Amino acid sequence: MVKNYLSYAVAAALYAASGMGNLAFAVDEENWEQLNKPFDKPQLLVVTDPAQQSVINGRIEISETGDPVADNDFYAFYGKEGNLVTLNIDGGWKASGTGRSLNSAIALFDPNGNVIAQRHNVSVLEIDGGSIGIFDPLLSEIRLPADGIYRVGVTSDIRYADGRLRQFISNGETTPAEFVGTSTSMLSANGTYILRVDGASATPTPPPPEAIHVNIDVKPNARSITTHANWNGKIPVVVKTSKDFDALKADRDSIKFGPLNGKGTTGKCNKNGADLLCHFDKQDAGFGEEDSMAVVTGKINGKDFKGQGWAKVVPVRSKE
pLDDT tens per residue across span 156-174: 887 777 777 788 999 988 8
Domain boundary among 198, 222, 257: 198
Tell me the CATH number at 309: 2.60.40
CA torsion 29→32→38→44, rounded to 10°? 60
In a domain, 2, yes or no: no
State yes or no: pLDDT of 142 exceeds 90.
yes
pLDDT band at residue 13 under the 50/70/90 scheme = low
Give the span between the Cα atoms of 297 and 259, in whole angstroms.
11
In a domain, 243, yes or no: yes
State yes or no: pLDDT of 144 exceeds 90.
yes
Which pLDDT value is given to residue 247?
96
- How does pLDDT run across 71-120, given as a tens digit for each residue? 889 999 999 999 999 999 999 889 888 888 888 999 999 999 999 999 98
Q: Are residues 267 and 134 in the same domain?
A: no
More confident residue, 101 or 1: 101
pLDDT band at residue 216 under the 50/70/90 scheme = very high
State yes or no: pLDDT of 152 exceeds 80.
yes
Residues 6 or more apart whose CB falls under 8 angstroms from that of 138 comprise 86, 87, 88, 89, 106, 119, 122, 126, 128
For residues 211-237, give the mean pLDDT.
76
| Number of C-beta neighbours around residue 133 at 10 A | 15
Give the span between the Cα atoms of 138 and 215, in whole angstroms.
59
* pLDDT, averaged across the chain: 80
In a domain, 22, yes or no: yes
Q: Are residues 185 and 226 in the same domain?
A: no
* 3-state class (DSSP) for residue 284: helix
In a domain, 3, yes or no: no
Q: Are residues 172 and 89 in the same domain?
A: yes
Which pLDDT value is given to residue 33?
43
Give the span between the Cα atoms of 305 and 236, in whole angstroms.
19
In angstroms, what CA-CA distances link 267 with 55, 228, 257? 54, 21, 8
Q: Are residues 219 and 184 in the same domain?
A: no
More confident residue, 225 or 81: 81
State yes or no: pLDDT of 297 exceeds 90.
yes
pLDDT band at residue 196 under the 50/70/90 scheme = very high
**What residues pair up with 257 in beta bridges, in sequence order?**
265, 296
The number of folded domains in the chain is 2
Phi, psi of 265 (to 5 degrees): -140, 155
More confident residue, 319 or 280: 280
Tell me the CATH number at 28: 2.60.120.380
More confident residue, 294 or 186: 294
Q: Are residues 47 and 71 in the same domain?
A: yes
Q: Are residues 158 and 275 in the same domain?
A: no
More confident residue, 276 or 27: 276
pLDDT band at residue 177 under the 50/70/90 scheme = low
Q: Are residues 29 and 164 in the same domain?
A: yes
Domain that holds residue 110: 8-198
State yes or no: pLDDT of 1 exceeds 60.
no
Which pLDDT value is given to residue 36?
58
- How does pLDDT run across 15-49, given as a tens digit for each residue? 554 444 444 444 444 444 445 578 888 888 888 88
With beta carbons less than 8 A apart as the criterion, state whether 251 and 276 touch: no
Q: What is the pTM of this model?
A: 0.61
